[in-house]
Amino acid sequence: AQKVTQAQTEISVVEKEDVTLDCVYETRDTTYYLFWYKQPPSGELVFLIRRNSFDEQNEISGRYSWNFQKSTSSFNFTITASQVVDSAVYFCALIPYSGGSNYKLTFGKGTLLTVNP
């Protein structure tokens, strides 16, 4: 069974601060995929990134960056110079590689990020 833990329930920062959202996962599978999704108040889950378990390169996309460390089973997400529009609930999720038979994403409980002006 898979498990994703997002220990930070809520984070509040002031605009332009950097903020890191933590994600720790558990799986017995050797190959798996990790995701981050953003859920604004409208409710739709917006895809941000997907990482393979065999690719530990960190990734940067604009103000967003992701730190994947297999040794500690963590996949943390950093927003640099946060903006009010970044306010949302952020979810980390995992799915084992299955060759096409498994489409069940396992989500953490999410972290509510509030960026104050």
Partner 1 sequence: DAGVTQSPTHLIKTRGQQVTLRCSPKSGHDTVSWYQQALGQGPQFIFQYYEEEERQRGNFPDRFSGHQFPNYSSELNVNALLLGDSALYLCASTRRGLGSDTQYFGPGTRLTVL
> Could you give the string, one character per residue 58-97, with x where binding to partner 1 holds by CB under 8 A and - elsewhere?
---------------------------------x-x-x-x
Neighbours of 3 (CB within 10 A): 12
36 lies in the site for partner 1, by CB under 8 A: no
Report how far apart, in Å, the C-alpha atoms of 88 and of each of 30, 35, 58, 76, 104 are.
31, 16, 23, 16, 23
Distance CA 12, CA 102 (A): 36
Distance CA 83, CA 16 (A): 6
Q: Which stretch binds partner 1 (CB under 8 A): 16-24, 37-45, 63-71, 74-82?
A: 37-45
Q: Which stretch binds partner 1 (CB under 8 A): 14-22, 34-42, 58-66, 71-79?
A: 34-42
Tell me if 97 sits within 8 A of 33, measured CB to CB. Answer: yes
Q: Which of 47, 60, 69, 81 binds partner 1 (CB under 8 A)?
A: 47
| Residue 88 tokens, joined | 């949302």
4 lies in the site for partner 1, by CB under 8 A: yes
Q: Which is nearer to partner 1, 11 or 45 (CB)?
A: 45
Distance CA 39, CA 110 (A): 9
Which parts of this chain interact with partner 1 (CB under 8 A)? Answer: 4, 32-33, 35, 37, 42-47, 50, 52, 91, 93, 95, 97-110
